Structure 1
Amino acid sequence: MSTIPVGLVGVTGYTGMELARILSNHPSMKLVRVTSRAEAGKTLADIYPFLYGMELGALEITAPDVDDLEKNCRLVFLAVPHKTAMNIGGELYDRGVKVVDLSADFRIRDRETYEEWYKVDHTREDLLTKAVYGLPEFYRDKVREASLVANPGCYPTSAIVGLTPALAEGLIETDDIVIDSKSGASGAGRGAKVGSLFCEVADSFRAYGLTTHRHTPEIEQELSVAAGKDLTVSFNTHLLPIDRGILSTIYTKMKNGVTAEDVRSTYEKAYAAEQMIRVLPEGVLPETRWVRGTMFCDVGLVPDPRTGRLIILAAIDNLCRGASGQAVANANLMLGLDETEGLRMAPMMP
């Protein structure tokens, strides 16, 4: 079987780096175009030494060119900032090239909501109804038929996987949901910023973006679908002094009469067929190191009869499951491949 040629626009960030790592060993996809205006003319191994001696390392980085991408790629990954993605993604879509967009440009279905939170005009509103939200466990069939997939954000992936079974089965109250999330420093991107410097992050722990984080409307949009009604949640983010990983601790109120057995059976049934979601045994709580470098989302459940709360924990790798690995899973589905092809990776321990 011949490999399927794919491209990557925006290769120099952490998500681009992770995509290159994953695709370097993908059995059915071959990365044939990688683009960056700043690094054009270099090879991938020049900017990513871990690719030295590998075939992919010799691939030359070029400036983004829609004509060239259309000619040479069946699918293109976009690992570029919002606003940029809608423009090049729209052009590629118009030319019949399949697109997986890792930015936020097509995640929010309502244009006004997107513009309110991202402070830019959306120039391709016509594509908002055509884009499929790329969380495979909930939109798998739609992703298979899609030409444009909006790859979910990292925080939303953990929150949506964590909360959906409880909301869909009516186990919890829909008001006063608190999502308390912590991410490694790679979630801030690879750009040079004072807040991401080693001395600013190491040996510290801080909150940021309280009440204003841009993943909020994405989380509320998808949780509202699960609940069958509009939801407002309290979403709070923190920066951990680690490289990669997200742990979300979610506080909810159980409805009267809901038992610990109800909760566990609901989650185990909901995710029984899912290869990349692991509902951990009673008494075992997720850790970021158990999912590092993988597509796993580990879910822990702690019903608290004393307070009437259900505490849900979800851990993912923000770069793999929360970005690039999930993008590859979506591409697999769009290209008629097995969803987990190239993604059956064990955690990077310790």
Structure 2
Amino acid sequence: MTPPTPQGEFALIRNSLTGLGAPRADVVTDVGDDCAITRVPPGLELAMSIDTLVSGIHFFPDCDPASLGHKSLAVGLSDLAAVGAEPAWATLALTLPQADASWLNSFAEGLHQLACYHRLRLIGGDLTRGPLSISFQVMGFVAAGQGILRSGAKPGDAILVSGHLGDAGLALQQLLSAQSASHSPITIDPRVRARLERPTPRVELGLNLRGLASAAIDISDGLLADLGHLLEQSQCGADIECKRLPLSDAVAAVVHQQDQWSLPLSSGDDYELCFTVPRDKLAAVHEIAAAIACPVTVIGSITDQHGIRLLAEDGQPWHPDAQHAELTGFDHFRPSSSASD
């Protein structure tokens, strides 16, 4: 951050954090009152999620503030996408080490652009002094009984993912290597860095999966970890064909040259959707994905045998050895975890 400016808490809120996002008729009062007051339309249910991002854990302290504003909202929007909810409102609890109006204005612009794109309104929150951390609560609407849950997968369903896997993990590797490099500079691929710092929440896909997907979850902690949560809730298992995993050219090169399957299987921060679909609805899903220009890939099947089985390129079971012991998802309280959420 730059040196602090002589603005107090309420001036910062008034000048930087008021009026962000799209205007909405269902907002009665927003920033400026003790509570925001909103209207939930009849026949709809309210979907809510909250995420906290902490400096040095979820993002680098020198991360571009506009990108950070985008990402901190995007992670919540990804949760709404997973249940098929339409974004509506958000609240923000922001802790800053100092009153840096320039940094805050850039942060606000990043979140404002993404909020406007998804017709979401920032309706309240809190601003506090302390170590840099960001907590967004997002709220959205879904028709009564139409939310896509983690618990609906059935044996025989196809397992799909959106986009590519492992880009954010590769960017994190490159950034960490660049930080520790003492001599020759490390090349950081701008395409994968954008996937880490400005992820695309798959809101439109989630909305279109209502009535088609049997279960869904967003990939924040890694495919294996997040799919595991879905399987636990659905009380079933999965066969995953590694050769089907959708990889960008950059990730594919690392996977095939260095055998780093941890990138697509367990690195976090991709914020793609992993979802299950009955086989008779696959054609409709692919048609929708093509219409909204969001690639989706079938990577395996739901089974009645619990657990996740990885299948090698020859179709035989693959049992990761000690070299691949890192094939687990991110866990804040596991000592060996690296930062990726």
TM range (shorter): under 0.3
More strand by share: 2
The structure with higher relative contact order (CA 8 Å, sep 6+) is 2
TM-score by length of 1: 0.25
